[in-house]
Structure 1
Amino acid sequence: MTDAPAPDPDPALAVDLLTTADVRELLGLTGVRPTKALGQNFVTDPGTVRRIVRVAGVRAGEVVVEVGPGLGSLTLGLLDAGAAVVAVEIDPLLAERLPATVARQAPRCADRLTVVLSDALEITELPSIDGVVPTRLVANLPYNVAVPVLLTMLERFPDVAEVLVMVQAEVADRIAAPPGSKTYGIPSVKAAWYSEATRAGSVGRNVFWPTPNVDSALVRLVRRDPPAGEATREATFAVVDAAFAQRRKTLRAALAGWAGSPVRAEAILRAAGVDPTLRGERLTVTQFAAIAAAEPGVAR
């Protein structure tokens, strides 16, 4: 007696990830021409999509928010992993087309997609799917607004506990940079207020259409509590902005405008336990918060 042959896979269960030919076809159907203004570069390599989903740790049953889904390359990969997706898209043509693309490429997944037509910098609420709110952000972020979008999402949606985004390699380096490094700056400190950031790999230029003239990289952020103490996020970020506006100067000089004078800046820094002769790139987010907390207690 021989084993019966395995049944052919049900085509209705298959997820066909987008290839270069698919991307070009969809661009023709939508009438969209990729623009630098919106930072549109579409992923055309299924292997890269699967890698991003794997590195992100996407699990079946969770709800993922994706910013800038474009034609749906990464969206399909997230759905294939069993997640539900809230896709935030600013381009009305792309937002309108995305459900049809998912219905064609992944019929079994169509009911797990919710499209939100909105600028990610203006969105204030994310819908839940079957009562479950998004807890993970996975996205190929538009390069021209990657940092503002990332910080906005971290600020407004505290339920988002883990993030994996593809950004320009230089931006990934800045977000994940530690204090004291050449690339440490405003994005590094502000991201550190919300999370621990690490670089999670590089991505070649040839997986995009059109091909960008910059390298790309993945950066992972895992949410953590902000620094302990009395300083608010707004107060701390004001110190960060002032410190890096003149990053070649000592903190005593760089914070003079923020504090009211160099003398008062030095008094605040010493009250916070920070050496006034240091520069901003040497400080941790906790030290910036300590400076912000010390400011109200120092007499003018």
Structure 2
Amino acid sequence: MAADLLGPAEIRELAARLGVAPTKKLGQNFVHDPNTVRRIVTAAGLTPADVALEVGPGLGSLTLGLLPVVGHVHAVEIDPTLARALPETAARHTGPGGVDRLTVHSADALRITAADLGEPAPTALVANLPYNVAVPVVLHLLAELPSLRHGLVMVQKEVADRLTAGPGSKTYGIPSVKLAWYADSRPAGRVPPNVFWPVPNVDSGLVAFTRREPPRDDVPRKSVFAVVDAAFAQRRKTLRAALAGWAGGPDRAAAAIVAAGVDPGARGEALTVHQFAAIAASAPGPSSAVE
């Protein structure tokens, strides 16, 4: 099954026919460059055994690239007009064999669950994510969908840098640590603004990830994330000071940090996800993680 990918003229014609104008509120920037679509699909390392989950398919550019190479595509689209139009676009550009392997979910990706998606369970997240919700969407889907084994997402370049940063980097922070809880990640390339309509004023970046087992199985994720949130809420403070509220005082914080084998005088930006987990395991105190 071959797909007839959408170019700039097809994108604008389809949008006009549907009466759709991209909105900043929904973070809509539609890819209109077939070569970029091919690049994303190739970089995602997909096989026919994969079931792709696409968030924000929009007018269908990436969807058409995914359908020929995977066993099934779950497309989650919050805009009901675009969700209704996607199967017709898939049928027109890939034929019946394509649309039969597509399930469109008119839903908010931040609320989607495994039960909502049903079978076949998704194994790969491949998406051009809306800039304004990219990090929450990735973390929510990894938490809700244990079947996701790998993925490639396109996000704002600055966000891509944050997601893939390592300890000690200026861009290392909450998104870096929380993604590291679920998966190994790496930057997978830069995408220029001119492949989108409308053209954003920033570059985009590709983030590839492969799920692995959590750093520890003896401490809940929410407890670890509570430590992460506290450490970076005041990132210029030492851990002893930054974690005082979480632990119930600076002395209790210091005791938990030392028990985890970490220097209380260090800052959160220097710690690995394993060290954050060790602190949480040493003193699993009050937790109010934001996932």
What TM-score comes out, normalization by structure 2 length? Answer: 0.94
Report what 1:53 is aligned to.
41
Match of 2:117 among 112, 120, 127: 127
**Residue in 2 aligned with 1:281?**
269
Deviation at 1:14, TM superposition (A): 4.2
**Partners of 2:49 and 2:271 in 1: CA distance:** 40
Query: How big is the shift at 1:62?
Result: 2.4
Indicate how the Cα distance of structure 1 residues 128 and 229 shifts in structure 2: closer, same or farther if over 3 A, else same: closer
Paired letter, 1:171: V
Among candidates 65, 89, 93, match of residue 81 of structure 2: 93
- SS, match of residue 184 in structure 2: strand
SS at structure 2 position matched to 1:165 = strand
Amino acid of the structure 2 residue aligned with 1:149:
V
Looking at structure 2, the residues matched to 296 and 207 of structure 1 have their Cα atoms a distance apart, in angstroms, of: 47
Q: CA deviation at 1:16?
A: 0.9
Using the alignment, how far apart are the partners of 2:65 and 2:13 within structure 1? 19
Deviations along 1:104-132, one digit per CA (max 9) or x if unpaired, are 11113110110011100001125355xx3
Give the letter for the 2:274 counterpart. T
Cross-structure match for 1:33:
21
- Which runs of structure 2 are paired with 1:136-215 in the superposition (5 Å)? 136-215=124-203
Comparing 194-203 with 258-267, greater Cα deviation is found at 258-267
1:152 shift after superposition? 0.4
**1:10 alignment counterpart:** none
Structure-2 change in CA distance of 1:111 and 1:283 (3 Å): same
Retained in 2: the 8 A contact 1:26–1:71? yes
Contact 1:42 1:208 (8 Å CA) reproduced: yes
| Superimposed CA distance per residue, residues 36-68 of structure 1 (whole angstroms, 9 cap, x where no aligned partner) | 111100000000000100000111242111011
Please tell me whether residue 254 in structure 1 is matched to residue 271 in structure 2: no
Q: Go from structure 1 to structure 2 and tell me whether the alpha carbon gap of 1:267 and 1:71 turns closer, same or farther (over 3 Å shift).
A: same
Tell me the percent identity. Answer: 64
- Displaced runs of 4 or more, over 4 A: none
How many corresponding residue pairs?
Answer: 283
Give the drift of 1:82: 4.2
* RMSD, aligned α-carbons: 1.3
Aligned-pair distance for 1:150?
A: 0.2
Q: Which residue of 1 aligns with 2:68?
A: 80
Match of 2:235, as an amino acid? R
Asked if the contact 1:63/1:136 (under 8 Å) is kept, the reply is yes
TM-score by length of 1: 0.92
User: CA 1:163–1:82 in structure 2 vs 1: closer, same or farther (change >3 Å)?
Assistant: closer
- Contact 1:18–1:46, Cα closer than 8 Å, also in 2: yes
Which structure has the larger Rg over C-alpha atoms? 1
* Alignment-derived partner of residue 288 in structure 2: none
What SS class does the counterpart of residue 253 from structure 1 fall into?
A: helix
Q: Secondary structure at the match of 1:158?
A: coil
| Ranges in structure 1 where 5+ consecutive residues have no aligned partner | 1-12
Does the 8 Å CA contact 2:53/2:126 hold for their aligned counterparts? yes
Separation in structure 2 between the aligned mates of residue 50 and residue 219 of structure 1, nearest angstrom: 16
In 2, the alpha carbon distance for the partners of 1:212 and 1:240 equals 31
DSSP-derived class of the 2:283 partner = helix
Deviation of residue 85 (structure 1)?
0.5
> Please, which of 92, 105, 123 is the counterpart of residue 116 of structure 1?
105
Alignment partner of 1:103 is 2:80: no
| Aligned equivalent of 2:5 | 17
Deviation at 1:229, TM superposition (A): 4.6
Give the 3-state SS of the residue equivalent to 1:80 in structure 2. coil
Q: Deviations over 1:271-291 (max 9, x none)?
A: 111100000000000100111
2: CA distance between counterparts of 1:295 and 1:58? 41
Which residue type is aligned with residue 115 of structure 1? V
Cα distance in 2 between the residues matched to 1:144 and 1:195: 22
1:246-278 CA distance string (max 9 Å, x none): 000100111111111111111111111110000
Distance, in Å, in 2 between the alignment partners of 1:229 and 1:87 is: 32
Equivalent residues of 1:69, 1:88 under 8 A apart: yes
* AA partner of residue 194 (structure 2): N
CA deviation string 1:117-175 (max 9, x = no partner): 1100001125355xx32111100000000000000010000110001000000101100
